[in-house]
Amino acid sequence: MSHAEPIWAIFCVVFLAELLHAEWTDNQRSRWISKPLASLCFVLFGLTAGGEGRWSQFVIAGLVLGALGDVLLIPKDKRAFLAGLVAFLLSHVAYLAAFLSLGPDWTYAAWGTVPLLIAAGLISRWLLPNVESKMKGPVIAYIVAITAMVITSVGVLPLSPLFLTAAAMFFVSDLAVARNRFVSPGRSNRMWGLPLYYGAQLLFGFTLVGAL
């Protein structure tokens, strides 16, 4: 691991701490500073981590799209939220493409399919009644994309447990975003959702270290 890599991860954690303080105090100015910087740091962490093969390019794309989505979620604007939703959906698609490029073991993936489909169904029943009609289509597409991404991450479990761990953390962190936007807004959602999300992105970056 190069000397630059842990520095970017440390910076990401530092800016995340400032972001959590901004969320707790509802400081929009601090949010505009700390959130883009925290996201930039996990992108730089991934870029400096190395990684070889087409799958690594998809992981980098997922990190960049995630950072874009982070910025788009800062404004309290419905159009920006929808654009952020699309960016995160594409981020999940990029990670899905990375797993497919690695050649998942579908026997392993099959073990995760039923419980994850059940989880997706339960989440849909919980969430969709609270979603306005024009947002239902994008939200359903998002649920499909993230569920497919996590299922496929189970298929690459023999290569590295980091993929499944990162995918699962991303999945759970999105529940905080959904709860905050559609069900029960509150800063407590961000207090647990953001650490899970940034931890997931750093783990995705860490998968690029060394050769698989």
Question: What is the mean pLDDT of each successive set of 10 residues along the chain, which is 212 residues long?
Answer: 72 97 95 97 91 89 97 92 94 97 93 94 96 92 96 93 96 95 93 97 89 53
The span from the CA of 6 to the CA of 12, in Å, is 10
The span from the CA of 198 to the CA of 119, in Å, is 22
Cα–Cα distances (Å) from 152 to 16, 22, 105, 106, 131, in that order, read 28, 35, 9, 8, 27
What is the model's pLDDT at position 212?
56
What is the model's pLDDT at position 57?
94
The span from the CA of 177 to the CA of 184, in Å, is 10
What is the model's pLDDT at position 50?
75
What is the model's pLDDT at position 210?
64
What is the model's pLDDT at position 77?
87
